[in-house]
Structure 1
């Protein structure tokens, strides 16, 4: 009999009882009992298992699965650097409040600080980035009751409703042993320790007085749109907010905030979600003459500039003072100017790619967008979708990194039942997680179109301070970072379909086809004039 096998089956059983339906594992020796238990659960139809050879990709696959399915997802690794490779995904989950469950295998505690192979101090390895850390010590024998193991596991999993948790499981050899009779859990397939649902907050009434706008950051959800609609306020909704629907969103809010006299008259901002895209929004929240009301769960990070934090608000009756109409008219005028400018530009531009991708998302479709330029181009070009059509636009905006975006997109596409799944990334983001395309022949794979806006480098820096003329001699090497990689050859080596396009019509045609499996559509664009064009776009506002 193997105590390691027994504790592994208990942990996996409690995961299933907690509601886990997808699990990710990377191969390793110390984690073998956990891998066997997951494989057995997959064979029994209790969960769906995903295997990845790269732990960093495995972590972000779990993030995508969790965000797409709105369920907790565990990622299981062996000991040593394997666990450390999960740190980027853990940080993203922490800042995005994603229910990621890290289950790390470990050597027995007495082997720490002895030079034992693949042994390091994994205790609280992720520090305060996890909501809860717990450890199951290595056992020598199988106990008569699994209460202690189940209690530690279930309490750890239950703590992760608003972020990642870490369960470190110390396992003693033998690691590969036949299944054993595991002491049973609670009757009815419920977790060993039940967790109470959070109480519904009492909404706080807002007065109609100050001229107000609603800012919807990442993952704000429908409440931001509902408040703006009921109160008659302009809505500044990032594309990944889940609020960019209906008639209230101001598409060119970023341009108008930068230069419009309307922005100077704002007296109050109501913030939902995690706003990260726009320096003009950041500047608005920092203004001393603007009241900032943040609507967020009680344990969420406080948005900068917050003068007041509440868990829910109640909309006032619309003032009928023409405030919304002024913003709507200004938005329509700037959109017309923007469309005119872009129509004059030859070839395939970044903004044309963003518009084509946005238009290709059907009702009940999914779009995962990468950080840097793509999400900002989408922010400018995406129009509001009709309410109720259940489009999901998501990104890793917790820390806004380019890590693991391909794996996140694959996970989201596997985790959500969508009519169509797309991803939209830059070439550096794609290359940074090209390992995400490493799927074995037996692994679940989605029908996913990955659009890569390929300008051979980092165009976003051209629009920032680093892109100024006085820094031109260093720019291309340390910020532009061209790679010259042939994406077609890379995709072929991974067994992934690839198509290159260099015109808007060709891109639209490529997006009209739903692939069988994963397909990369490489949209070739330039970045030599990105700074000049960005300045022309910002100059559209008088």
Structure 2
């Protein structure tokens, strides 16, 4: 099957699974895959298809259908000015709160701005008149496309109705051939499942609380920016579920919170024995690839999203999205939770043993010990790259602290300034841990005028003379270009930088000296020097030790 036919088939099928009853089509060439898919399901009696030769008339027909029924109507056209003729109806749908799902066919990116026939700029064509707009992207015959297409359609269907009904826009690029080629093969099944829409969206209305299926074999995942953490951690604890919390989710506390889920989920034998029946996600997860793999495999993945306009689903596995959920208490033994905790304790002890055996400063131990050393009520701001991942892998559960990171876009920008701003707003002690490149990127944040407040902030800079995270990625295997284009080594004297800004400076000489190094008041810099290659080797050793310890538990 050619990619254009495959994508159109799946898009139309998912619209039907979401509940589409009516579709309006204005004919054209580039939209042929969608037209043929709609015609096929019309012949099967699955949809009412309305065809109009004038796009303006077609769009207002769809508007009337959706306005009266209260249900989204799909509106399809070809590329070029055909899409522009939808604009008046889209504006009316926006102002009237009418749910329209506008699908404009487009030329692939390589034909744009070349003078190719019927090619105009259709990206975000309708501006602010749509609730949501996205470029679908030219389809490719590779695994993962079906999940992408289906989750995209169910997201669009949901956003056309909630939180406020209105139009959404999908711009779908198709490469030729545009009609079926007689080959029905594809690299993965095109079908959905028997449960309806890929992702079901539930808006918060009276009585609309989503009740999670009762089970002891559940898992609560808490990512960055999670809301109502205490409520749902308490519910998971009552249900006997393990809590897998990223540091900036601020849910790594209590008896159900794990420290080493990154290592546990990296073991196929552990994963095979610990397949959850339901996973509930709060916030935005994304630090650990093994954790994302757990979400990808989940049979039931429920995402709690206070704002339905944007819900986090990085692996496109969400089966339900809700603004409010209830996790039921289920009676029974605690074998499920006990098994997770036993493996977690074994992995954590093995990791601690490796870290404690090294007297020199290492990045994972620094992360672990810094969290343990902070007094209650403290704030820790961490860089969004390697420091927060170290915390995720080695941080032990504790209460009474707040961890923050710029994980929205996970960039390197402005971290010194963000840390200072957070410290100025915080009522207790404040600490920050940044890599050297993140620090250098925003060293101007240290410039504070004589009449401005200065924060009580210990700024810990991990100096491995370059981009440490790249040493843990596949790029590290490219020995010749690695240092030049990834490692980006430097020879900056951080003590001199501190002196230039009038900021007190200390050098952390040994791992055991951390508490003494971070002590003090006001803005201060603590430099911790490490080696990138040694750090990569240490992470491999930690993974090996944790896996061996868990294997001993599983075999025992």
TM-score by length of 2: 0.59
Residues 39-74 of structure 1, C-alpha deviation per residue, up to 9 Å, x if partnerless? xxxxxxxxxxxxxxxxxxxxxxxxxxxxxxxxxxxx
Aligned to 2:319: 307
Cα gap change, 1:276/1:201 in structure 2, threshold over 3 Å: closer, same or farther? farther
Runs of 5+ unmatched residues, structure 2: 1-123, 133-203, 552-556
Asked if structure 1 preserves the Cα contact closer than 8 Å seen for 2:235 and 2:329, the reply is no
**Deviations 1:402-461 (CA, angstroms, capped at 9, x unpaired):** 1111111111111122x2111111111111111111111111221111011111111111
Looking at structure 2, the residues matched to 200 and 439 of structure 1 have their Cα atoms a distance apart, in angstroms, of: 50
Aligned to 1:529: 534
Partner of 2:405: 395
Number of residue pairs matched by the alignment: 343
Asked whether the 8 Å contact 1:501–1:507 carries over to 2, the reply is yes
Q: Deviations over 1:487-540 (max 9, x none)?
A: 1111111111111122113222112x2323x10111112222222222222223
**Match 2:303 to one of 278, 294, 316:** 294
**Residues 502, 525 of structure 1: 8 Å contact kept:** no
Measure the CA separation in 2 of the matches of 1:478 and 1:200. Answer: 55
Q: 1:300 to 1:223 in 2, by over 3 A?
A: farther
1:270 corresponds to 2:280 = yes
Deviation at 1:239, TM superposition (A): 0.6
Q: Work out whether 1:257 is the aligned partner of 2:269.
A: no
Note if contact 1:296-1:309 (Cα within 8 Å) is conserved in structure 2.
yes
Whether 1:515 and 2:521 are equivalent positions in the alignment is yes
Tell me which residue corresponds to 2:338. 325
Question: Would you say the 8 A contact 1:225–1:244 is kept in 2?
Answer: no
Q: Is the 8 A contact 1:420 1:514 kept in 2?
A: no
Check whether the contact 2:252–2:258 (CA below 8 A) recurs between aligned residues. Answer: no
Query: Conserved in 1, the CA contact under 8 Å of 2:348 and 2:394?
Result: no
Separation in 1, partners of 2:287, 2:312: 17
2:394, 2:236 → 1: CA distance? Answer: 21
Superposed CA offset, 1:461-505 (max 9, x none) = 11111112xx11111111111111001111111111111122113
CA RMSD of aligned residues (A): 2.4
CA distance in 2 between partners of 1:383 and 1:203 (Å): 33
User: Would the alpha carbon gap of residues 498 and 226 (structure 1) be closer, same or farther in structure 2, given more than 3 Å must change?
Assistant: same
Q: Residues 314, 504 of structure 1: CA spacing in aligned structure 2 closer, same or farther, 3 A cutoff?
A: same
Q: How far apart, in 2, do the equivalents of 1:435 and 1:246 lie?
A: 39
CA distance in structure 2 between the aligned counterparts of 1:350 and 1:519, rounded to whole angstroms: 19
Give the SS at the match of 1:377: helix
Q: Is the 8 A contact 2:507 2:517 kept in 1?
A: no
Structure 1 residue 333: Cα displacement:
0.6
CA shift, 1:291, in A, is: 1.6
Match for residue 500 of structure 2?
Answer: 493
The whole-number CA distance in structure 1 between the counterparts of 2:437 and 2:205 is 43
2:462 matches 1:456: no
| 8 Å CA contact retained: 1:373, 1:460 | yes
Indicate the SS of the match to 1:281: helix
Q: Are the aligned partners of 1:450 and 1:519 in contact in 2 as well (CA < 8 Å)?
A: yes
How far the C-alpha of 1:260 sits from its partner, in A, is 4.9
Aligned to 2:489: 482
Answer whether contact 2:283 2:312 (CA < 8 A) is retained: no
Aligned to 1:283: 293
State the alpha-carbon separation in 2 of the partners of residues 360 and 199 from structure 1: 45
- The answer to whether the aligner puts 1:503 opposite 2:515 as a matched pair is no
Q: SS of the residue aligned with 1:507? A: helix
Q: Which structure has the larger Rg over C-alpha atoms? A: 2
Q: Which runs of 5+ in 1 are unaligned?
A: 1-123, 133-197
Distance 1:520 1:359, change over 3 A: same
TM-score, normalising length: structure 1 = 0.60
Tell me, what secondary structure is at the counterpart of 1:529? Answer: helix
State whether residues 438 and 494 of structure 1, in contact with CA within 8 Å, keep that contact through their aligned partners in structure 2: yes
Q: Is the 8 A contact 2:363 2:535 kept in 1?
A: no
Local SS of the residue matching 2:465:
coil
User: In the alignment, what sits opposite 1:345?
Assistant: 358
Q: Deviations along 1:124-176, whole A, 9 cap, x unmatched?
A: 9xx88xx99xxxxxxxxxxxxxxxxxxxxxxxxxxxxxxxxxxxxxxxxxxxx
Answer yes or no: is the 8 Å Cα contact 1:201–1:312 preserved in 2: no
Residue pairs, 1:383-462, within 5 angstroms: 383-386=396-399, 389=400, 391-417=401-427, 419-462=428-471
CA contact 1:449–1:519 (8 Å) conserved in 2: yes
